[in-house]
C-alpha cells in the first residue's frame, strides 16, 4: 500500500525546459502501461479511423481499453500532443492518459500503477452519494443535529449543527473544526469558528469531506471502499481497484472523522471519468443518476481563477480553458481526472512523488496543450 505523502506546491521550473524525446507505447489492448522505450507520439498509421470501428464499437472499454492506431488517425495534431508529453516529462509526471470518444489516443507513463489519488477521492464519494440518494438512503436536507454528527471538543455549536448534508457536499457547512489530512495551506485558510453561518460561505474544507464519509456509512451501513467496489469498480470493469486499495487516515487528536484514501491506477480513473462523460451511464446500465451528474458538476461557488465548485467536483470556467467546457476531480499537487464535455474527452494526469517536480500551473499547461492538439 502506498503511503500518503504530504505535498507542497512548487512553482513550475521553466528553466531547463528542453526538447525531450517523447514516447508512447501503442498496444493491441491497452491493459498495460506505456513504456519509455516505445515509438514516438507521432508514429503509427495516420489514415482516418472511425472510433466506432475500434474495440466493440460501443464507446466503452471492455476488459481492456480500445487503442487508436495513432493520434493522427482520430484527427489529432500529434506534434502538439508530443509537446504536451514533453512538458509532462519535464514536470516529472507519473502518467498521462487521454481518452477520445471512448478510445485511448495517448497512454504515456504508468497507466496501471496504483498511486494515492489524494483529494480525487472526494469526487468518488460524491458519486456514491448520488447513487444512494436516488435509492432513498440519503436525504440531503438532513442536518448534523438530526444525524447526531459532532466532533471532539471544542464540539460543534448549535448553529454549526444546522449544516445540512448538501452544504457539506458544496463545502459550505460553516463548520471550521480541525480535520484529518489537512494541508498546511488548508489550515492557514480555515476561517474562525462561527465566522460564517452554515450555507453562506465556501471554504475547501476537509471537515466537510471527511464527515461525509462518516455520514455515508451511518446512512447506508456500508464502508466507503466496499461501496466503491460494489457500485463503481465492478460495473465499470475496473482493471486494478479493489476495496483493499482503500485506507483510512485517522488523526484523533484533531477530529473523530477519518479521511478515506484510495490507491487507484490512471486507467481505472479514466473509466470513472468516462462514466461521468456518459452522464452516469455504462453501456446499458445507469450507474449514477443522470440528474446527479448534472447537479454535482454544476458550479455553486466561485472557487479560484480556474474553477467554480460543485458537489466535490471542480467546474471549469470556460474563459480559463480557452472556451472549453470541462469539470475535474483534483488531488494533491497534480492528480487530475478532466472530463471535457464539448470534445468528448477524458484526460487523466498522475503524480509520482518520487519524480514529481511540478505544480498545478504545470499540470494545467499540459492539459491546455492537449486541448489545443484536439
Please report, for residues 109, 232, 264, 287, the alpha-carbon distance to residue 225 in angstroms, rounded to integers and kept in the order given: 26, 10, 12, 16
pLDDT at 32: 34
At a CB cut-off of 8 Å and minimum separation 6, what does 135 contact? none
pLDDT at 40: 67
Query: 3-class DSSP state for residue 215?
Result: helix
Distance CA 22, CA 42 (A): 9
Q: Which residues pair with 107 in a beta bridge?
A: 97
Distance CA 223, CA 145 (A): 22
H-helix or E-strand spanning residue 341: none
At a CB cut-off of 8 Å and minimum separation 6, what does 351 contact? 93, 94, 115, 332, 333, 334, 335, 358
Please report, for residues 121, 144, 267, the alpha-carbon distance to residue 348 in angstroms, rounded to integers and kept in the order given: 14, 35, 8
> Cis bond leading into 154, ω under 30°?
yes
- Domains along the chain with CATH numbers: 11-113+357-374 (no CATH), 118-261 (3.40.710.10)
H-helix or E-strand spanning residue 226: helix 224-228
Dmax over Cα atoms in the chain, in whole Å? 66
Q: What pTM did the predictor assign?
A: 0.90
**Residues 321, 368 contacting (CB under 8 angstroms):** yes
pLDDT at 44: 85
Number of helices followed by number of strands (H, E) in the chain: 10, 13
Show pLDDT as tens, one digit a residue, over the chain (374 residues). 333 333 333 322 222 322 232 233 333 223 334 332 233 688 888 899 999 999 999 999 999 999 999 999 999 999 999 999 999 999 999 999 999 999 999 999 999 989 999 999 999 999 999 999 999 999 999 999 999 999 999 999 999 999 999 999 999 999 999 999 999 999 999 999 999 999 999 999 999 999 999 999 999 999 999 999 999 999 999 999 999 999 999 999 999 999 999 999 999 999 999 999 999 999 999 999 999 999 999 999 999 899 999 999 999 999 999 999 999 999 998 999 999 999 999 999 999 989 999 999 999 999 999 999 99
Distance CA 80, CA 367 (A): 11
pLDDT per position as a tens digit, 303-314: 989 999 999 999
Q: Work out whether strand 314-316 and strand 115-116 pair parallel, antiparallel, or are unpaired.
A: unpaired
Amino acid at each position: 500500500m502506498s503511503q500518503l505523502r504530504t505535498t507542497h506546491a512548487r512553482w513550475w521550473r521553466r528553466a531547463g525546459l528542453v526538447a525531450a524525446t517523447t514516447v508512447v507505447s501503442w498496444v493491441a489492448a491497452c491493459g498495460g502501461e506505456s513504456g519509455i522505450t516505445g515509438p514516438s507520439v507521432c508514429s503509427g498509421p495516420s489514415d482516418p479511423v472511425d472510433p466506432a470501428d475500434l474495440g466493440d464499437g460501443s464507446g466503452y472499454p471492455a476488459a481492456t481499453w480500445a487503442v487508436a492506431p495513432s493520434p493522427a488517425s482520430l484527427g489529432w495534431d500529434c506534434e502538439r500532443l508530443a509537446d504536451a508529453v514533453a512538458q509532462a516529462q519535464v514536470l516529472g509526471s507519473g502518467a498521462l492518459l487521454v481518452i477520445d470518444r471512448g478510445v485511448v489516443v495517448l497512454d504515456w507513463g504508468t497507466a496501471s500503477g496504483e498511486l494515492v489519488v489524494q483529494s480525487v477521492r472526494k469526487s468518488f464519494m460524491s458519486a456514491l452519494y448520488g447513487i444512494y440518494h436516488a435509492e432513498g438512503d440519503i436525504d440531503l436536507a438532513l442536518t448534523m443535529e438530526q444525524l447526531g454528527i459532532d466532533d471532539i471538543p471544542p464540539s460543534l455549536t448549535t448553529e454549526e449543527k444546522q449544516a445540512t448534508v448538501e452544504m457539506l457536499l458544496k463545502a459550505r457547512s460553516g463548520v471550521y473544526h480541525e480535520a484529518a489530512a489537512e494541508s498546511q495551506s488548508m489550515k492557514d485558510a480555515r476561517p474562525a469558528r462561527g465566522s460564517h453561518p452554515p450555507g453562506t460561505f465556501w471554504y475547501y474544507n476537509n471537515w466537510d469531506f471527511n464527515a461525509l464519509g462518516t455520514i455515508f456509512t451511518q446512512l447506508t451501513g456500508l464502508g466507503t471502499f466496499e461501496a466503491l467496489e460494489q457500485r463503481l469498480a465492478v460495473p465499470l470493469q475496473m482493471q486494478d481497484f479493489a476495496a483493499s486499495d482503500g485506507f483510512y487516515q485517522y488523526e484523533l487528536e484533531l477530529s473523530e472523522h477519518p479521511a478515506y484514501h484510495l490507491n487507484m491506477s490512471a486507467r481505472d480513473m479514466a473509466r470513472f471519468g468516462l462514466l461521468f462523460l456518459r452522464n452516469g451511464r455504462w453501456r446499458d446500465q445507469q450507474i449514477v443518476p443522470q440528474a446527479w451528474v448534472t447537479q454535482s458538476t454544476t458550479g455553486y461557488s466561485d472557487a479560484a481563477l480556474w474553477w467554480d465548485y460543485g458537489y466535490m467536483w471542480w467546474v471549469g470556467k470556460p474563459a480559463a480553458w480557452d472556451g472549453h467546457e470541462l469539470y475535474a476531480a483534483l488531488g494533491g499537487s497534480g492528480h487530475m481526472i478532466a472530463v471535457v464535455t464539448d470534445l468528448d474527452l477524458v484526460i487523466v494526469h498522475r503524480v509520482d512523488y518520487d519524480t514529481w517536480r511540478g505544480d498545478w500551473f504545470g499540470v494545467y499547461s499540459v492539459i491546455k496543450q492537449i486541448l489545443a492538439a484536439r
